[in-house]
Structure 1
Amino acid sequence: MTNMMRDSQSMAQTKDENLGYMSDMALELAQMAEDSGLATLAYLFRMAALEASTAESVLPERDDRSREIRSH
């Protein structure tokens, strides 16, 4: 059981790191697009960064709702 908990924590940490990396990269790309005069592309990258930064807090909530719906 302890190994499973460590594996689960490790996977969660890796997921957090990956989402953080994706968010950072999207913000860098947004800045590059803005510097190039590509406002629409910059906006899209900023939205991708926002999605990556909020993915962890949204996903568990969706899972809870889907379980509630299935149980009825």
Structure 2
Amino acid sequence: MSNMMRDSQIMAQTKDENLGYMSDMALELAQMAEDDGLATLAYLFRMAALEASTANGMRAEPGVYPRQMTSH
């Protein structure tokens, strides 16, 4: 395998790992915001998680999609 092909595979893997990490972090922040009664902030973090998982080409896990916003 050429160095160029190997380098592009490593870069793609790093990108996937970074997007996966971003998605996971956004979901954790969404849960924290929801626990504090910050529905709008939780919604925005869930949208960010969905965007990262979509960019990553992986299927979003159940529960990633923003829930219906409720007023508190």
Identity, % of aligned positions: 91
The one-letter amino acid of 2:35's match is D
Number of residue-to-residue matches in the alignment: 57
Q: Report the residue type matching 2:27 in the other structure.
A: L
Greater Rg, structure 1 or structure 2? 1
Question: Aligned pair 1:16/2:16, yes or no?
Answer: yes
Q: Deviations over 1:12-44 (max 9, x none)?
A: 000000000000000000000000000010000
Gaps of 5+ in 2: 58-72
TM-score, normalisation: structure 1: 0.76
Q: Deviations over 1:31-59 (max 9, x none)?
A: 000000000100000000000000134xx
- After TM superposition, the runs of 4+ consecutive aligned structure 1 residues lying more than 4 A away are none
Unmatched tracts of structure 1, length 5 or more: 58-72
CA distance in 1, matches of 2:35, 2:2: 49
Question: CA RMSD, aligned part only?
Answer: 1.1
Q: Structure 1 residue 52 and structure 2 residue 43: aligned? A: no
Which residue matches 1:5?
A: 5
